[in-house]
Structure 1
Amino acid sequence: MGIALVTGASAGLGLEFAWQLATAKHDLVLVARSEERLQRLAAQLEAAAGVRAEVLVADLADRDGTERVADRLRDATRPVGLLVNNAGLGLNQRFVGGDLAAEERALDLMVRTPLVLSHAAAGAMVERGRGAILNVASIAALLASGTYSAHKAWVRTFTEGLAVELRGTGVTATALCPGFVHTEFHERGSIDVASYPELAWLNAEDVVSTALADVRRGAVISTPSLRYRTVAAVARLAPRSAVRAVGRYRKALEHPDAPA
């Protein structure tokens, strides 16, 4: 079935991507910072699904770590047919007065890393005439919620531009734009989400299955659930002054292997 490479595979959406892809009989390359968690996951996937799961330990906020993953994507002897750029972190801080080093780390992880890995994957895939790139953005890309929104807006726009460039090559690019998802992301980041109603939340299983279905049909933007497609439509049509009025800032956190 081909090999899928998933970044941030040890938790959250990345973990769900790994399981659903393994169930679909894709061999996997699992990327995250925690070797212990990756090795445990690889053993579980191989035992349960009968697939091969490679472990690639890398800190994707570090340029050398990103380059090791890019080299794996360029490896023509074990070609990767699907890249899932999922690794991310949440920045729950105001920009003014916030930790600049944390801002730079977030920028590296959520902007530079998808850029570098998409470049490596697209080059190899275009040569073969087939493949897919899935970049995890967010509904926040349409909002004004600090630098996280800016990073995800970049991912969304970059992916759209990449999809245009890849047209006719046999390679596709899709931006996944979920809303709130039940994962470890908020709990591990100590984000207070008590004020959000249950209606706002999506299940990771549904988000990932929608994303993979959209990749298979070559969709450029994947927004799971009718409720968030409605939110996206309203955000695109509303005056930006109204969008800015509901912008939120959060407390400082870093969760490097969480879903973005």
Structure 2
Amino acid sequence: MGYVLITGASEGIGKAIARRAAKDGRDLILSARSEDKLEALAAELRSSGRTVHVIVADLNTSDGAAQLWAEAVQIGQIDVLVNNAGLGINGPFVKTDTTREDTSVQVNIVALTQLMKSAAQHMHANGAGKILNVASTAAFMPGPHMAVYHASKSYVLSLSEAVAQELAGGDFTVTALCPGATKTEFFKDADMHDVRLLKLGLMMSAEDVADAGWSGMMRGKRVVVPGLANKVFAVLPRFVPRGLLTWVVAQFYVRS
């Protein structure tokens, strides 16, 4: 059995997936920018008898994904890739920081695609494998005040479903995990501490999201939306006029 490679593994959903994978007896390669956090998690998981490697990588560089993959396959065969690294920024498109949005596109789209391509080729050659791409319920609708983030997650969902269909019928699966608001550092990093969405009290724990994503991936599901409220949010856009939908979403992201 090969390794589980997880990006954005230092905190939040990535960290929770690492713990879930270790609980299932899997050996891991953990990657993120924070070496201290990665090493602390690695030490915790090694204490349970797992083999854990740490690769510090910055996916916001043109060769970050390629370097990460090259280092990972030097360690061993990759059976599972968890594309979890991602970020966003809250605010009107005409005012938000361009550098932050460029970083979002690089990490959420470009690096994810590069890693997914490398993993797909690697796993196809080995005859089997699983890819879990962390998208969001944001993927199902436009997001005023989070426009680039929503668009990037729509890309992740579309790419995941398309490649899953291309590879249907074999032992290689692609799963898109689409959580809603989750108790992580994402909202702080995205400058969302006072948006209305956070006052609804609907946030799931990272552990519950990770459990749903991991188990869904292991069953070969193409799309996993954890939680009843999130399932409703994912389905509603099919029935609501687009103009009304974008107005409603905007209200969630307005500061109050």
TM-score in terms of structure 2 length: 0.91
Is the Cα–Cα contact under 8 Å of residues 5 and 82 in structure 2 kept in the other structure? yes
1:162 aligns with 2:160: no
Q: Structure 1 CA distance, aligned partners of 2:242 and 2:188?
A: 30
> Once the two structures are superposed, what CA deviation does each residue of 1:121-177 show, in whole Å capped at 9, x if it has no partner?
000101111110000000011122111100000000000011011113311000000
Which of the numbers 213, 220, 223 marks the counterpart of 1:221? 223
Q: Structure 2 CA distance, aligned partners of 1:40 and 1:171?
A: 32
Structure 2 counterpart of 1:133: 131
Q: Structure 2 CA distance, aligned partners of 1:125 and 1:109?
A: 22
Q: How many percent identity over aligned positions?
A: 37
For 1:98-113, what aligned pairs fall within 5 Å after superposition? 98-113=96-111
Pair 178,165 (structure 1): closer, same or farther in 2 beyond 3 Å: same
> Once the two structures are superposed, what CA deviation does each residue of 1:46-90 show, in whole Å capped at 9, x if it has no partner?
01x210110100001112221112224555x71111100000112
SS at match of 1:28: strand
| Shift in Å, 1:104 | 1.2
Is the Cα–Cα contact under 8 Å of residues 74 and 124 in structure 1 kept in the other structure? no
Q: Structure 2 CA distance, aligned partners of 1:98 and 1:91?
A: 7
Structure 2 counterpart of 1:18: 18
SS at match of 1:63: coil
1:32 aligns with 2:28: no
| Shift in Å, 1:2 | 3.1
> Once the two structures are superposed, what CA deviation does each residue of 1:209-228 show, in whole Å capped at 9, x if it has no partner?
11111111111000001221
> Once the two structures are superposed, what CA deviation does each residue of 1:13-53 show, in whole Å capped at 9, x if it has no partner?
11101111111111110000011111121111101x21011
Pair 57,112 (structure 1): closer, same or farther in 2 beyond 3 Å: same
Is the Cα–Cα contact under 8 Å of residues 126 and 169 in structure 1 kept in the other structure? no
Structure 1 counterpart of 2:95: 97
Aligned residues: 249
SS at match of 2:4: strand
Please, which moves more after superposition, 233-242 or 56-65? Answer: 233-242
SS at match of 1:92: coil
Is the Cα–Cα contact under 8 Å of residues 89 and 96 in structure 2 kept in the other structure? no
| Shift in Å, 1:239 | 1.7
User: What one-letter code is carried by the residue in structure 2 that aligns with 1:240?
Assistant: R
Q: Structure 2 CA distance, aligned partners of 1:189 and 1:50?
A: 36
RMSD: 1.8
Is the Cα–Cα contact under 8 Å of residues 74 and 121 in structure 1 kept in the other structure? no
Structure 2 counterpart of 1:257: none
User: What one-letter code is carried by the residue in structure 2 that aligns with 1:180?
Assistant: A
Please, which moves more after superposition, 175-184 or 162-171? Answer: 162-171
Please, which moves more after superposition, 230-239 or 120-129? Answer: 230-239
Q: Structure 1 CA distance, aligned partners of 2:91 and 2:60?
A: 18
Is the Cα–Cα contact under 8 Å of residues 195 and 254 in structure 2 kept in the other structure? no
Pair 13,54 (structure 1): closer, same or farther in 2 beyond 3 Å: same
Structure 1 counterpart of 2:5: 5
Is the Cα–Cα contact under 8 Å of residues 88 and 148 in structure 2 kept in the other structure? no
Which of the numbers 86, 103, 128 marks the counterpart of 1:88? 86
